[in-house]
Structures are given as C-alpha cells and as structure tokens.
Chains A and B, each alone.
Chain A
Amino acid sequence: MMANKNISIRNKLMRIIMLISGIVVLMTCLVFFLNDFYSFRESTLQNISTYGQIISNNSTAALAFESKEDAQEILSALKAEQHIVAASIYDAYGKLFCVYPTNYNINQLPTTPGVVGYHFTNTAVEGFQPIVQGSKRLGTLYLKSDLNALYDRFKLYVIIMGLILCFSFVLTFVLSKFLQRGVSAPILALAETAKAISEEKDYSVKAVKLSNDEVGSLTDAFNQMLTEIHEQTEKLNEFNQTLEQRVKDRTNELEAANKELESFSYSVSHDLRAPARAIHSYANVFLEDYGNKMDDEAKRLINVILKNGKKMGSLIDDLLAFSQLGRKELIKTTLSMNEIASNVWNELYKIESNRNITFDLEDLPDAHAEKTTIQQVWVNLISNALKYTRHNPKTYIKIYAQEKNGEIIYCVKDNGSGFDMKYYNKLFGVFQRLHSQEEFEGTGVGLAIVERIIGKHGGKIWAESAVDKGATFYFSLPIN
C-alpha cells in the first residue's frame, strides 16, 4: 500500500484508516465468533448431557420394571428437542431395550453401550450416559444430536459478520472522508501554495493557515521563509541594479580616462616628433655644412646629438604607433599566416643575409584577424628573434602553430640569449627592457605593441625562456 508513492496524502490517510478499522472489525468479529463458537459447543454438550440426565433419571423405573411402553413414552419427550435425532436405552446387560424415534433404523445405532460421555463427531454429537437408580446401574442411555444448530449459528454469524464489515466499511469510508480533511486539507493547501509559488516565482504570495497544529506551525515557518526570500530577492535585485549602474559609471569613467590618456600620449608623441626631427635634421645639416671646419671632438659630439636625435625619433614613432592602436577599430579578414610570416621573414632576412641562419617555417593555419596589425606582430616577433640571436655563431629560428581549446597558438622559437624568467612580469611593459642598449638596441615598446594587438583580437601572448637557452614566444587567436 505504501509502495505506491504517487498516491495523494488524502488517499493514503483514507486507506490507512480503512485498513486499520477493517482489521479491527474483522479481528473483533473473529474473536466474538470463536468465543461464541466454543461456548456454543460447550452449551451443546451441556444441553445434550442435561437431556440425557433427565431422560436417564426418568427411565430408571421403566428399565427396572421392564416397561418398554413407559420407556418409549419417556423417550418420546425428546420430540421437544428437534436436534436430537436418535436415542436408545440399553438394559443392564447391554441389550437394546428401547429406541427413539420408533421407526429409527436400529442398524445405525451402536449395538452395545460404549464409553460414558458425549463427544463431537464430524456430523453429530453423540454419547452414552449411565442410567442409575441409587447406586445401582440399571442400563445405559444413548443420545445423538445433529450439528444443525451449530451450523445455523455459524451461518448466522457469517451473515452478521458480513453485514457488520460492510456497514463499518461504508461508515469508515464516509467518516474518514470527512475527518481526514482536518489533517490533509492544510497539507494539501500548503502543497498547492508551494507549487504555485515555485511555478510563478512570486514570493509575495502567502500560504493560508488552516489549523494551529504542526501543519499550522509549518505554514507559519513556510510563510516566514517566503517573506525572507521575498525581502532578500528584492534586496538582491536592488543591489544588482546599483551594481550595474556603478559598473556602467566606472566603465564610462574608465573609458573617458583611457581616451584622455590616449589622446594625451598621441598628442604628446605627435607634438614631440616635429622638434625631435628638427633637432636631428639641423644637426645633420650642421655636420654636412660645417663638418670640414670642425675638429674631431666637435664631430664626435655632433654625432652623439644625431644618434640620440634618431633614437628619440624612433621612440616617438613607436609611442605614436602604440597609442594609435587603442583608437582604431579592427577590420578582420581571413589571413594566410603562411604568406604573411614568410613575407615578413624574407624582408627582414635581406638585411642580415650574411648570417648563418637555419629557418624552419611549418605550415600555419589561417587566422581571422586584421592584416596590418597581425603583420606588425610577426615583424616584431621575428625581428626580436633575429636581434637576440645576433651573437650566436649559428642561429636557429622556428615558426609553428597548434590548435588547442578553440584557439590557434602561433609560436616563434629561437636559440638566442633568452631572458631570466624572474623578470617575466616586465617583458610586455612599455619602455621596459631586459637587456642594455649596448648589448641589444631597442625602445622597449615592441612587445607592448604586440601584447596590445593580440589583446584587441581576443587572444593572449606569453613566453618561455631561460638565460642563454633561447626563447619561445606564443600568441593565441580565437578561431572565428
């Protein structure tokens, strides 16, 4: 019964009540029945024994003085008890003396008296009783009663039991249908409310309290929880909104600041370019026009000015390029990275074609990116590889790629001087350099530009290296 978990609590309650009451009624009926059955058996024995006593008492004289008529008359009194189907009297010698009813088949009677006492057989109660006058045994009485009385009683009991069961079942059904509401209705109401709330997500709804029992306190607790959930949801929503607003404000502020900074650096570098060029060009003109009039020390100084002016120019150019990156929108197309990488390599290699270089370009997958900026990335990375292998007698540069987790990772590996990983955090900073100007020239803007470009494409850049063990630079671009 409990196995069916899909039954409503209402039906479960009713079933439990009906099952229990059914069992109780059945058991009660059974107890009554058994008790009555046994007491009726006892009383049947008692009855037949009483009849026997009376008959045997009355028939003493008839037996003593051999009056069959009288004995017959005494036995015929048994007509009053319809269940006694046969009776007979035996004399002191065990000879059949008298039979009741007179037309009874003698062959069905015991031929001689048996053991005194009454007992049940399958179909009857029968037995013998001594006929005694004073202390003298005069003969024996045999009585046989059918069990119809018992069977009638049995039938009556079955009918009554059936009626009681039916009646109690109906009564229990009706009563439990009404009474179980007191228990199930608040639970069902609570369940309905909970269901409605979970479906509609409306936590402002309240469950109606129908009773002051445990279900009532459950309802209270439920409502309390609902109130808290409602309040917290509201608070959360409010907080969310303010947070969104704050993020928006901050973003706007940041964007404004960024723009300001970019335009500042752009204008600074742009404005610085003209005077730097002027210094460089005028120093150049000064050297050409007045070079023959200068002594060696003057020439050396002028050359220092020229060299620094040139450096200042390239610094300003790089800075300008870097600051311009943030201002431009990317125009992405499908790029053949094989083509770009090999073109860049050819251009850069021309300048240093006298070096002993092994260049290994593996097949690179196409990328969806902006051409000019990605080209810049390749230029910076390959020129870095060439630059930092300059002191090697044999140079080895390898370019390859691999696909991983929905992005393509492009790699540039060299066997150059490398760098110490403990300065890795400075690697992609603007104007940050890990080598001296004397060892390897540069402005310290190149990798910063590369990082900026890859970042704008939604990719990442990183590197692995050790001092004098070469370096490998990786950059990833998302597929599509």
Chain B
Amino acid sequence: MSLLKKIAYSRLSILLVFCNVFFTTAQISTREYQVKAAFLFNFSQFVEWPAQSFSNPESRAVIGILGKDPFDSNLEEIIVGETINKHPLVIQHFKNVDEITNCQILFINISDKNQLRLLIEKLKGKNILTISDVNGFAKMGGMVRLYIKDDKINIQINLDAIKEENLGISSKLLKLAEIVKTDKK
C-alpha cells in the first residue's frame, strides 16, 4: 500500500512539476479513451455471442460499464444507432456486479485485484465479454486487456476465458492481439 501511495505521490509531483508533460499526458488520455471507446464497439463486430446471451430476440445488446465511466460521451457517440445481431446497442452503467443480468460487453474500471478476481468469478456463465485496462487483467482470468505500448493501444486476449464463456472470436482479431493464459496460482 505504501509503495502504491509513494508511486502516486511521486507521479503527482512529477505532474505538478512538469506542467507541459501533464498537459500532454492529459491529451493522450483523452485520445486514449476515444480510441478505447471505438475498440469497445469494434469488439462487438468481431465477437459472436451465443443465442442464450440475449433474453429474447427483441432485447437490447448492452455495453456495460462497471466502476467509473472514463469515456465521457465518446462511447455514446460511437454506438448510437448501432446493433449486435440486430439487437440495438445501448450503454448501461453498473455499480454492482449483481445488477448485471443482460450484458454482452462489460468494461471494468476497477483496479483492486482482489475485487477483480471476485468479480470475474461472479461473471462466469453469463457470456459476457469482459474488457479492462487494468494491469494483468487477462492473466487473472479476464478476457481482453487494452494497454498502451509504443504510443499505441495494444490488445491482450485470454482465449481460454473467451472459449469458456462460449463466445466466438474472429481470427482476424486474434491475429492483432497478444494471446495470454490465466496464471495458475
């Protein structure tokens, strides 16, 4: 904990000292979530859900956000009017994992790893594609992790986790991603 705090503090001090660096980072951050929002939607085009994922043929397809919403209005703008298998796409914010019933893509903005592990366990069997930018998310049993490397957003995919939830994923997508496995503990 103290280590984390230290890092946080040092980060803050660096941000404060290097104002222009902060500004740049802030810019990157905005651009980062724009792209991530687009990616979030694009996953819907390269992933297939089993029929039981939708409660009925008319029900909506849901991109859920658990935790704080980092996208502002970016995601809203992208998905407006879009569908998954003819199910109209909507955004739903969840505060608690128990609220989640009908959901296809879930962006998890929770950094506490224990909480995450619990969460991943709870989501099993619900055919939800879980996405997060938390470090080690995919290796923890999450499905997709987005991370920045060389000024570019990269994708890490836990293929076993996806298959367990009966989700189909396009080989074209896999080709772009780094495939990882769940760490055995």
The interface bits of chain A over 36-79 (1 if a CB of B lies within 8 angstroms of the residue's CB, else 0) are 00000000000000000000001011101111001000000000
Flag if A65 contacts B83 (CB, 8 Å): no
Instruction: Flag if A65 contacts B45 (CB, 8 Å).
Output: no
A64 touches which one: B42, B82, B83, B152 (CB < 8 A)? B42
Does A62 contact B45, Cβ atoms closer than 8 Å? no
- In the complex, the answer to whether B153 meets A61 with C-beta atoms within 8 Å is no
**Inter-subunit contact A61/B172 (CB<8 Å):** yes
**A406 within 8 Å of B by Cβ?**
no
Report the separation of the CA atoms of residues A67 and B149 in the bound assembly, to the nearest whole angstrom. Answer: 12
Chain B residues contacting A133 (CB-CB under 8 Å) are 42, 45-46
CB distance from A93 to the nearest CB of B (A): 11
Measured CA separation A199–B127 after assembly (Å) = 115
**Per-position contact with B for A131-151: 1 when CB-CB < 8 Å, else 0?**
001111010000000000000
Contacts of A66 in B (CB 8 A): 35, 152-153
Chain B's interface: helix, strand, loop or mixed, by majority? Answer: helix
Least CB separation from B152: chain A residue: A66
Contacts of B35 in A (CB 8 A): 66
Asked whether, in the complex, the Cβ of A58 is within 8 Å of the Cβ of B172, the reply is yes
Which residues on B sit within 8 Å (CB–CB) of A67?
Answer: 176
Contact-residue bracket for chain B: 10 to 19
Is there contact, CB below 8 Å, between B175 and A65? no
**Is B147 part of the binding interface, using a Cβ–Cβ cutoff of 8 Å?**
no
| A58 to B152 Cα, complex, angstroms | 21
A133-B45, A136-B45 known; A62-B176 Cβ under 8 A: yes
Q: In the complex, are the beta carbons of A61 and B170 less than 8 A apart?
A: yes
Number of residue pairs spanning A and B whose beta carbons lie under 8 angstroms apart:
37
* Total count of chain A residues near the partner, CB < 8 A: 14
Contact B173 A65 (CB under 8 A): yes
Contact of A60 among B38, B82, B152, B172 (CB under 8 A): B172
In the complex, which residues of chain A have a beta carbon less than 8 angstroms from the beta carbon of B176? 61-62, 65, 67, 70
CA distance A194 to B42 in the complex (A): 99
**Complex alpha-carbon distance, A136 and B175, angstroms:** 20
Whether the Cβ atoms of A64 and B46 lie closer than 8 Å is: yes
Residue B106, interface by CB 8 Å: no
Contact check: which of A61, A65, A136, A138 meets B82 at CB < 8 Å?
Answer: A136
In the complex, B39 has a CB within 8 A of chain A: yes
* Residue B128 interfacial (CB < 8 Å): no
| Contact residues of B between 110 and 141, Cβ < 8 Å to A | none
**Which residues of B lie under 8 Å from residue A62 when comparing CB positions?**
172, 176
B175 contacts which of A61, A134, A135, A138 (Cβ < 8 Å)? A61
A81 to B176, CA, bound (A): 25
Which of A61, A66, A136, A138: most chain B Cβ within 10 A? A61
**Chain A residues near B46 (CB-CB < 8 A):** 60-61, 64, 133
A160 to chain B, nearest CB (A): 44
Chain A stretch 215-247: residues in CB contact (< 8 A) with chain B: none
User: In the complex, which residue of chain B has the Cβ closest to the Cβ of A73?
Assistant: B175
A380 vs B82: C-alpha distance in the bound complex, in angstroms?
152
Say which residue of A61, A135, A136, A138 sits within 8 Å of B173 (CB atoms): A61
Across the interface, name the chain A residue whose C-beta is closest to B173.
Answer: A61
Question: Roughly how many angstroms separate A58 CA and B174 CA in the complex, as a whole number?
Answer: 12
**Chain A nearest Cβ from B39, distance in angstroms:** 6
For B172, the closest partner residue in chain A by CB is A61
Residue contact B45 to A64, C-beta cutoff 8 Å: yes
Chain B min CB distance to A190 (Å)? 86
User: What per-residue 1/0 map shows which CB atoms of B58-94 lie under 8 Å from chain A?
Assistant: 0000000000000000000000001100000000000
Looking at A64, A65, A67, A70, the one whose CB has the most chain B CB atoms below 10 A away is A65
Judge if B155 is at the interface, Cβ distance under 8 Å.
yes
- A134–B155 CB distance below 8 A: no
B83 near A70 with CB under 8 A, answer: no
Cα A133 to Cα B38 in complex, Å, equals: 14
Give residues of chain A (117-137) contacting chain B, Cβ–Cβ below 8 Å. Answer: 133-136
B82 contacts across to A, CB distance below 8 A: 136
> Which of chain B's residues 154-182 have a Cβ closer than 8 Å to chain A?
155, 170, 172-173, 175-176
The residue on A at minimum CB distance from B85 is A134
State whether B45 touches A134 (Cβ < 8 A).
Answer: yes
Proximity string of chain B (39-51) to chain A, C-beta cutoff 8 Å, 1 when within and 0 when not: 1001001100000
A58, A61, A135, A138: the one contacting B83 at CB < 8 Å is A135
B77 to chain A, nearest CB (A): 13
Task: Contact check, B39 vs A65: say whether CB atoms are below 8 A apart.
Answer: yes
Bound-state CA distance A64–B45 (Å) is: 9
Q: Which of A421-477 contact B (CB under 8 A)?
A: none
Give Cα distance in the complex from A136 to B172, angstroms: 16
Bound state CA distance, A134 and B44, in angstroms? 10
Can you spell out 30 A-B residue pairs with CB atoms less than 8 angstroms apart? A58-B172, A60-B46, A60-B172, A61-B46, A61-B170, A61-B172, A61-B173, A61-B175, A61-B176, A62-B172, A62-B176, A64-B38, A64-B39, A64-B45, A64-B46, A65-B39, A65-B155, A65-B173, A65-B176, A66-B35, A66-B152, A66-B153, A67-B176, A133-B42, A133-B45, A133-B46, A135-B83, A136-B45, A136-B82, A138-B45
Q: Residues of A at under 8 Å CB distance from B?
A: 58, 60-62, 64-67, 70, 133-136, 138
Report B's interface with A, CB cutoff 8 A: 35, 38-39, 42, 45-46, 82-83, 152-153, 155, 170, 172-173, 175-176
Additional A-B contact list (12), CB under 8 Å, known A58-B172, A61-B173, A64-B45: A61-B46, A61-B170, A61-B176, A64-B38, A64-B42, A65-B153, A65-B173, A66-B35, A70-B176, A133-B45, A134-B45, A138-B45
